[in-house]
Chain A
């Protein structure tokens, strides 16, 4: 199969590991060969955090620069920081409530590399649902709404149901749904 490379980024404490685990587990359950490289330890105290997720017949877990198909970033600047990973025509999903996304100075790079970018105010969505720390699930739901990734909305949802700790399961699903809906609305907007 063709290898699929995904970069997930953000700041320590935002739930990048959990988001990575959900996507990796969904891909594994789907039948993809899965490899992941995670950041643990010192980097988790608010510093830059990155996960590499690779699907396919490969032996190493690290994504080379210029070869990632998707970038999911829980923080805007961390998204920009990891742009060198993206291949031409790759897709970038960013959690930000900034009206000025993407920043003016990166637009040329995005255009030159034909990168498709989308953003969602995941933090606000999660906070409105009473779970301010769950923007990771909003972003994942949003990502799934475009149906461009290796696994479907339904598959990720099933994984959240399976993997979430009991006391967080309902809220996780709720935030995921809200992110998904936001993405669906966006799709309707552009098809109008």
Chain B
């Protein structure tokens, strides 16, 4: 049995924050779960995928976050509990649905997991999605540790049912990827069959209907506010004269800092876990009992501004500080030392923490960014394109492992914005310039947001080459399936969709499908696309080797070596491929046989045929 399905309340387990959310959903009797994977949220749906059959609920990896949200909404409106998980930028994709879904409301608990990524560990921006609660009018909850991620998920379902509104549970990377002890609770019975009760004057968002629905949403705000005032997740802790307001992971840093500094009797902490609507009365009570306030929140001054406006409305005069020079930055994530130092300096207490370590004597090490793996098919396709188009072609790229091709010597990413934007920006760049444009998009990303842009490119007669890097999986986020994947071996019944048919269906006439590991074929395809005057698509098709290994479809690994008698040090292999398995030792080109998976691409590139399979 999957460990998260164990029905023994009081069981204690060391869980990842994302595991804890998945367990919370199980305890809440989830009937439908949907997602588009994205770091730092991916382990939640991956847990669902691993246990949904055994757990007796429905789960799908949807094509994108908007669709995922709609599937979950359809279920919750039909009266069964649903969850939809996404990373913060996924919320942008889903937001069109989100805004009006808030008007419609739901009939069974619906929880949206929104995972923000301060510091951008794996994201293109660090937008603060607490604004989405304010924009949509949906309640938001923010846990502080693994236990709460489980408990709050259950509470969010109940809250959602009470208000008949989806509830957004907002996490940050540090919480998603924190591991801590979680005490299990009871698993509730799943209600797995719903019924869609027709009520078009409630569910068809025509202007006349929506005018009424907006009013209903505002009435629900008042109701939610009342619940927020009395929520166990909003607390005033202590009764000192120094006020600290905090949320999420910052609460952990504040607690440790207050203990370390020994100022527990001097401070009052206002912890906001049910963070939208903000509990106004509680905030007023807090403000009237303190002399000065420090707001400790990562990213934007969201609570700070709201609290300041409450203070203004209630004519409470007290300094409220947070985001300003010398205190907290709107940039990046916090760390415990910085929070402690800022609390100490703001309230004028000596910071007794150990002085920063004098790092003189530690060598200045170059950063080690992530890299395309040894044997990655993207590298082979990049090589073929570079051989044909040279260094001057412009390469719009997209969100996925292949973005790692930005680094020299590959340098195959010139502009990246968000999922699917490679194709749209290619249209603009090729129209605005005389430069050759060859853009790259992954298979899952193409399904997610590439198709409307490709239709646009065909319809408006744009001229560029699109390479769809089809490695048969959603690699960067942990090998989740997508609509182009045959999921039969995983024991899941889905229908596989052919990328080639889709591309042709979009109206592209010049379509080539190649295996990039055959370097010559890749170069021929690149040349044909260059010679074609119009929109052309190359589908570069080869399984991600990590994925192939995980589904036991990998070919037998036969590592290669460099025959030093033949090698004449052209260094094409090193300088043009930059495979992490290759290195230079004592002037000799070498291959690390543990890392090499025998993809043969370097052997095909070597002008001396000096790279050969190791004899076993």
Q: Which of B40, B121, B370 has the most CB of A within 10 A?
A: B370
Q: Does A45 contact B (CB under 8 A)?
A: yes
Stretch at the interface among B174-182, B203-211, B310-318: B174-182
Q: Does B527 contact A (CB under 8 A)?
A: no
Pair A41/B39 contact, Cβ less than 8 Å: yes
Q: Does B353 contact A (CB under 8 A)?
A: yes
Partner pick for A67 among B14, B176, B354, CB 8 A cutoff: B354
A16, chain B: closest CB distance, angstroms? 12
B52, chain A: closest CB distance, angstroms? 21
Which chain A residues lie closer than 8 Å to B401 at the CB level?
Answer: 45
Main SS of the interface on chain B?
A: loop
Pair B177/A38 contact, Cβ less than 8 Å: yes
Which chain A residues lie closer than 8 Å to B176 at the CB level?
Answer: 40
Stretch at the interface among A103-111, A142-150, A173-181, A183-191: A103-111
- Chain A interface residue count, Cβ-Cβ cutoff 8 angstroms: 52
Q: Does B491 contact A (CB under 8 A)?
A: no
Q: Does A112 contact B (CB under 8 A)?
A: yes
Pair B357/A66 contact, Cβ less than 8 Å: yes
Tell me the complex Cα distance, A62–B337, Å. Answer: 9
Partner pick for B181 among A28, A87, A112, A127, CB 8 A cutoff: A28
Partner pick for A81 among B40, B365, B476, B594, CB 8 A cutoff: B365
User: Residue of A at shortest CB range from B16?
Assistant: A38
User: Residue of A at shortest CB range from B250?
Assistant: A60
Q: Does B136 contact A (CB under 8 A)?
A: no
Count class of interface residues, chain B: 35 or more
Which chain B residues lie closer than 8 Å to A103 at the CB level?
Answer: 363
- B-contact bits for A14-42, CB 8 A (1 contact / 0 none): 00000011001100100001111111111
Which chain B residues lie closer than 8 Å to A105 at the CB level?
Answer: 361, 363
Which chain A residues lie closer than 8 Å to B369 at the CB level?
Answer: 47
Tell me the complex Cα distance, A64–B176, Å. Answer: 20
Pair B594/A133 contact, Cβ less than 8 Å: yes
Pair B335/A33 contact, Cβ less than 8 Å: no
A34-63 interface (Cβ within 8 A of B): 34-48, 58-62
Tell me the complex Cα distance, A47–B121, Å. Answer: 12
Which chain A residues lie closer than 8 Å to B336 at the CB level?
Answer: 60, 62, 64
B559, chain A: closest CB distance, angstroms? 10
Stretch at the interface among B252-260, B288-296, B382-390: B252-260
Pair A64/B335 contact, Cβ less than 8 Å: yes
Tell me the complex Cα distance, A55–B159, Å. Answer: 34
Pair A84/B122 contact, Cβ less than 8 Å: no
Main SS of the interface on chain A?
A: mixed
Partner pick for B370 among A44, A66, A127, CB 8 A cutoff: A44
Which chain B residues lie closer than 8 Å to A141 at the CB level?
Answer: none
Partner pick for A108 among B145, B177, B255, B361, CB 8 A cutoff: B361
Q: Does A12 contact B (CB under 8 A)?
A: yes
Pair B14/A47 contact, Cβ less than 8 Å: no
User: Residue of A at shortest CB range from B356?
Assistant: A65
Pair A47/B181 contact, Cβ less than 8 Å: no
A55, chain B: closest CB distance, angstroms? 12
Pair B370/A12 contact, Cβ less than 8 Å: yes
Which chain A residues lie closer than 8 Å to B580 at the CB level?
Answer: 46
Tell me the complex Cα distance, A45–B335, Å. Answer: 24
User: Residue of A at shortest CB range from B255?
Assistant: A59
Pair A66/B178 contact, Cβ less than 8 Å: no
Q: Does A94 contact B (CB under 8 A)?
A: no
Tell me the complex Cα distance, A24–B13, Å. Answer: 11
Q: Does A77 contact B (CB under 8 A)?
A: yes
Which chain A residues lie closer than 8 Å to B181 at the CB level?
Answer: 28, 33-34
Q: Which of A38, A84, A86 has the most CB of B within 10 A?
A: A38
Pair B179/A24 contact, Cβ less than 8 Å: yes
Pair B357/A45 contact, Cβ less than 8 Å: no
Q: Does B30 contact A (CB under 8 A)?
A: no
Q: Does A137 contact B (CB under 8 A)?
A: no
Pair A48/B368 contact, Cβ less than 8 Å: yes
Pair A60/B179 contact, Cβ less than 8 Å: no
A85, chain B: closest CB distance, angstroms? 8
Pair B180/A106 contact, Cβ less than 8 Å: no
Chain A interfacial positions (CB closer than 8 Å to B) = 11-13, 20-21, 24-25, 28, 33-48, 58-62, 64-67, 77-78, 80-81, 83-84, 86-87, 103, 105-106, 108-109, 112-113, 123, 127, 132-133
Closest 9 CB pairs of A and B: A109-B361, A41-B39, A36-B179, A45-B370, A47-B370, A41-B122, A60-B252, A42-B122, A59-B255
Question: What are some 18 contacts across the A-B interface (CB < 8 A)?
Answer: A24-B14, A34-B179, A36-B179, A38-B178, A40-B43, A42-B122, A48-B367, A48-B368, A59-B256, A62-B253, A64-B336, A64-B337, A66-B356, A80-B363, A81-B362, A83-B362, A106-B363, A109-B359
